Structure 1
Amino acid sequence: MDPLSEVLSLLTAQGSVFAGLKAGGSWAIDFPPPDGIKFNAIVEGACWLTVDGVEKPIRLESGDCFLLSRKRTFSLCSDLSLPAIHSDEIYCHAVNGIARCGTADAFFLIGGRFAFGEEANLLFDGLPPVAVIKSGSDQASVLSWALHRLAHELATPSPGGSVVVQHLGHIMLVQVLRLYLEQEGNNMPSWLLAVSDLRIGTAIQAIHADPARSWTVEDLAQVAGVSRSTFALHFKQKAGITPLEYVSRWRMQLASRSLKANHATISSIAQKLGYDSDSAFSHAFKRIMKCSPREYREKSASVIRP
């Protein structure tokens, strides 16, 4: 399994919501920061999108899609000079998740929101606050189709619906990530940039295949087929962290999943990930996750229990 597929396999949608917006005339709406990542597709009409922290407004046309990957306020409007109403004012009257604003006859947007756990940080840390996919691209057509299917699954619950919704979220996310990796000029260090590099990606795949191994930089450089110094420098430039720090962080991703998903003892999880003692594992876990394994398990259980 390639690293991107493996990280996606760790993701579990903790919540999914569909929403639509019909608008017309002169209109402007402010939205709160989304809880999770938000996919949107313009089905009809056009609008302006502004996102907190993004310098320039973005013009969106019919067929365009966009993804919001950060918890930032954003606005949609027909005219940038108009005063905006808060989204609560219209969504409290939504029917089947679709709100109406103004004449509601010129603009139609559909959107889906997925809330994932902290395992998703590897992916989202590499994305810009807003990613736009223009109409006519394969990615835009897939996103639009998936959003329509999401609306259908949530509006008409059927057996297996939760699995379908989760897979739709993964499909949409993969399309956006592929587009991001294809674009030029994405040079900010990130996991996505590292895994898309042929040599660094090969080393990351080796780490994922055997996370318990006592990896050294020399080992990983040999896997990548370059010298130790070249590999260490190139890895840091692409990923933003050292190779051995990545080994530790990936282990903690796997450990956090095990702590949430099953009742295995902390000792067995530590041994499975290559730690010689519980104290060494706990120290590494606390350094990266900011709490002990036991505290993490208790906190995760309290979230699931309600």
Structure 2
Amino acid sequence: MDPLEDVLTLLDTRAHLSSGLAAAGRWAVRFEAPDVVKFNAVRRGSCLLEVDGEGAGAGGPVALAEGDCYLLTRSVPFTLRGDPHTAPVPAGPLFARAERGVARAGDGDGDEVFLLGGGFTFGARAQELLLDRLPPVVHVPAGTPHAETVQWALAAIDRELAQRPMAATLVAEHLAVVMLVHVLRLHLAREPHAVSGWLAGLADPVVAEALACLHRDPSHTWTVAELAGAAAVSRSTLAARFKSAVGQGPSEYLTRWRIELAARQLRDGGATLAAIARSVGYGSESALSVAFRRVLGTTPGDYRTANSPRTLPRSP
């Protein structure tokens, strides 16, 4: 696996599709802060996205044209509108009245504007490992050279939901995860300086090669010399570029990734601490425990107890 695939798999990434939004005439819809990473794609027409607080940033409203899509990576309220002067209506009652999977807004007839939407949910540690590394709004305009793959995924989702063949919802949700991967790829290619941490490292080919090595075999005792050889650069070059992009050295990154893998095993199963330690490259339980406490601030035993299915709150 590569780092992006590793992290998305570790976080148990899942897509959930909502009713579409059709609008005509003067309209504006206000959404409460989502408990998912929200996405919308404009399949027809155009509108404005207004995000509360830091989400909007210094640039103000985001103009969304036909074919554009966006990710909202923070849990903040937002508004979609076709008219800048119309008072927004709350989204909850509007979507509660949705018919055939489509909610309708505005004082006009038809669907001058149509948006496909949904959200992504993740498991534990998503905020630190992924979401905090991204800007509040990731906007992918349709006209950019690399956006064709996103458009392909969106068109395929549209067909599944419109034609409703067997297992349409399952297929559409898997396609949405495909879309997420493409959106992240395009964002990294287009704005490498708008991300931080390991995501920023993927935008540097030298650092990306070193990250791929660390993720391919995290139990191996990697040296900077080995990683530099794999990336075909000197040790000093790799160390400097890795530190600059990721914010920490290769050894520290490897330790943290090993602890993330160990934490996943502690959350998910009943493997012994000794077995978990061996699987992530530690020779003993005590060595893993020391590293675990240093990275996550708690012992493996306490972490397992706090994150076992019996102690976690049930999802609503």
> 2:15·2:177 contact (CA, 8 Å) conserved in 1?
no
Conserved? CA contact 1:146–1:172, under 8 Å? no
Pick the aligned partner of 1:173 from 177, 180, 184. 180
TM-score by length of 1: 0.85
Aligned CA distance change for structure 1 residues 245 and 100 (closer, same or farther; 3 Å): same
Pair 1:158 & 2:158 matched: no
Determine the structure 1 residue equivalent to 2:49.
Answer: 49
Alpha-carbon distance change, 195 to 100 in structure 1, aligned in 2, over 3 angstroms: same
In structure 2, the CA distance between the partners of 1:192 and 1:288, relative to structure 1 (3 Å rule), is same
State the SS of the aligned residue for 1:118. Answer: coil
Residue type matched to 2:74 in 1? R
Match of 1:224 in 2: 231
- Could you list the per-position Cα deviations for residues 116-138 of structure 1 after superposition, in whole angstroms to 9, with x for gaps in the alignment? 11364534343322122223540
CA distance in 2, matches of 1:16, 1:126: 22
Q: Which residue among 193, 202, 206 is the counterpart of 2:200?
A: 193
Per the alignment, residue 264 of structure 2 pairs with 257
Deviation track 1:177-204 (CA, whole Å, cap 9, x = no partner) reads: 1211221563553322212322211111
State whether residues 18 and 112 of structure 1, in contact with CA within 8 Å, keep that contact through their aligned partners in structure 2.
Answer: yes
Does the C-alpha gap of structure 1 residues 38 and 142 become closer, same or farther in structure 2, counting only changes over 3 Å?
farther
Determine if contact 1:68/1:131 at 8 Å carries over to the other structure.
yes
RMSD after superposition? 2.9
Give the drift of 1:300. 4.0
* Aligned equivalent of 1:112: 118
Matched, 1:301 2:305: no
Is the 8 Å Cα contact of residues 18 and 151 (structure 1) preserved in structure 2? no
Identity %: 40
- Whole-angstrom distance in 2 between the partners of 1:197 and 1:233: 12
SS of 1:245 mapped into structure 2:
helix
Mapped contact 1:150–1:168 kept (Cα < 8 A): no
Separation in 2 of the partners of 1:265 and 1:150?
44
Structure 1 unaligned regions, length at least 5: none
Question: Which of the residues 135, 139, 143 maps onto 2:149?
Answer: 139
Q: Deviations over 1:180-238 (max 9, x none)?
A: 12215635533222123222111111111221223333443343333333322211111
Equivalent position of 1:278 in the other structure: 285
Other structure's SS at 1:286 match: helix
Q: Note the 1:18-97 alignment, pairs <5 A.
A: 18-52=18-52, 53=54, 54=56, 55=58, 56-97=60-101
SS in 1 for 2:12: coil
Please report how far the alpha carbon of residue 76 of structure 1 lies from its aligned counterpart in structure 2 after TM superposition: 0.6
1:202 corresponding residue in structure 2: 209
Q: State the TM-score, normalized to the length of structure 2.
A: 0.83
Cα 1:139–1:120, aligned 2, differ >3 Å: closer, same or farther?
farther
| C-alpha displacement of 1:166 | 5.2
One-letter amino acid of the structure 1 residue matched with residue 295 of structure 2: I
Stretch moving more, 235-244 or 76-85: 76-85
Contact 2:268–2:308 (CA<8 Å) still a contact in 1?
no
Three-state SS of the structure 2 residue aligned to 1:213 is: coil
CA distance in 2, matches of 1:76, 1:187: 24
**1:11 to partner: Cα distance:** 4.0
Residues in 2 aligned to 1:143 and 1:92: alpha-carbon distance in whole angstroms: 27
**CA 1:34/1:150 → structure 2, altered by over 3 Å: closer, same or farther?**
farther
Cα offset, 1:46, TM superposition: 1.6
1:138-180 per-residue CA deviation (whole Å, 9 max, x = no partner) reads 0341242243256469x77739x64x35532331111101211
Would the aligned equivalents of 2:293 and 2:300 in 1 still touch at CA under 8 Å? Answer: yes
Query: Are the aligned partners of 2:14 and 2:173 in contact in 1 as well (CA < 8 Å)?
Result: no
Are the aligned partners of 1:133 and 1:139 in contact in 2 as well (CA < 8 Å)? Answer: no
Q: Hey, what's the Cα distance between the residues in 2 that align with 1:146 and 1:262?
A: 36
Matched position secondary structure for 2:133: coil
Specify the alignment match of 1:9 in structure 2. Answer: 9
1:170 and 1:286 mapped to 2: Cα distance?
Answer: 33
**Per-residue CA shift, 1:226-256, capped at 9, x if unaligned?**
3333322211111122222210121122212
Deviation at 1:44, TM superposition (A): 2.1
The Cα of 1:18 is off from its aligned counterpart by 2.0
Alpha-carbon distance in 1 for matches of 2:18, 2:287: 44
